[in-house]
Structure 1
């Protein structure tokens, strides 16, 4: 594989035009340590795990730590919507991270 100007030569008979990848930030993280408000987090309804955990959500822990906390009762129980869809009550999650913020 060789790069010649704007063409990327993959083999002697195959070449493709090189287009660099653009990286854009589409959201602002709202973690507890970032000092930002929780306005992006809903007050009511249901939220998915990716909305709860960092970098998108307000709680900076890993998935495995979250599930261990759910199992022990430290974090709110999950609501199953289907065999592969799990969510949580947004009001309970908001109360949880307000409590964590006070500590």
Structure 2
């Protein structure tokens, strides 16, 4: 994948799980386990069947991972 193909994470708005997993290389099961353990941000319900994540929360998580801090102790 070259630079032109690399997705850029937005810092505003909301992301669905499919979009989040383009930036955080884990599977759905690992993602949900990370939420339960407090390592990943909790989703926000938009409706009875629609959950989203704050783009800023995901950007902050990516920054922490890039700085070598890992995805531990997520604070809302």
Taking structure 1 as the reference length, what is the TM-score of the superposition? 0.58
Kindly indicate whether structure 1 or structure 2 has the higher relative contact order, using CA contacts under 8 Å at least 6 residues apart: 2
Instruction: Indicate whether 1:60 and 2:25 are aligned.
Output: yes
| Matches of 2:6 and 2:48, distance apart in 1 | 29
| Matches of 2:30 and 2:6, distance apart in 1 | 20
Q: How does 1:7-18 map to 2 (within 5 A)?
A: none
Structure with greater strand share of residues: 1
| Matches of 2:52 and 2:14, distance apart in 1 | 6
3-state SS of 1:82 partner: coil
Which ranges of 4 or more aligned residues in structure 1 deviate by more than 4 Å? none
In structure 1, the residue matched to 2:66 is: 101
Q: How many residues align?
A: 65
Structure with greater helix share of residues: 2
| Matches of 2:63 and 2:36, distance apart in 1 | 21
CA RMSD of aligned residues (A): 1.6
